[in-house]
Amino acid sequence: MRKLHLAAGLLGILVFVLSGQAMRLHKPPVRSLADGQRMMFLSRHIYILGSALVNLTLGLYLRLENRGRRRNLQVAGSLLILLSLVLLTLAFVDEPGAGIAGRSLQSAFGWFALLLGGLAHFFASVGTGPN
């Protein structure tokens, strides 16, 4: 699972850089768009970075329990966090075009997946003591 998070984190950083380049090369320039549409581009761009960094951190530090409920929570949390990167990347592609009115459930589900995944890892570690 660590290697998967590490690969997803590095891929997410690459997607973040590429989405930045897409904004830089966007016609018309993103800075000339209406406030709502510009905000959608910038926020979804930052969302990708947030999810990528969480994945990268898990890729560096995750220690799965051997078995049991804690391990199941960790695996479920990891799957949700991996899913968040996909959903937030899709939100960058789909949502900015129509401005705030074009908001879809992709970014909301991406954030909820990141939140629930983080909470699953938190509850899996409660009571385990220091590493």
Q: How confident is the model at residue 12 (pLDDT cuts 50, 70, 90)?
A: very high
Residue 54 falls within a domain, yes or no? Answer: yes
In a domain, residue 130? The reply is no
pLDDT at 43: 83
- Does the residue 46 lie in any domain? yes
pLDDT band at 130 (very low <50, low <70, confident <90, very high): low
Residue 29 CA: distances (Å) to CA of 16, 24, 44, 68, 101: 18, 7, 16, 52, 20
Number of compact structural domains in the chain: 1
How many whole angstroms separate alpha carbon 66 and alpha carbon 43? 38
Q: What is the mean pLDDT of the chain?
A: 89
**Is 103 a member of any domain?**
yes
CA atoms of 92 and 45, how far apart (whole Å)? 6
pLDDT over threshold 70, residue 101: no
Output 100 or 124, whichever has higher pLDDT.
124
84 neighbors 113 (Cβ within 8 angstroms): yes
Which 8-state DSSP code applies to residue 26? -
Coil, helix or strand at residue 29: coil
Q: What is the pLDDT of residues 33-87, one digit of tens each?
A: 777 777 888 888 899 999 999 999 999 999 998 889 999 999 999 999 999 999 9
The band of 25, judged by pLDDT with boundaries at 50, 70 and 90, is confident
Average pLDDT over residues 86-112: 83
Distance of CA 105 to the CA centre of its chain: 14
Is residue 77 in a domain?
Answer: yes
Give the range of the structural domain holding residue 19, as residue numbers without chain letter.
2-125
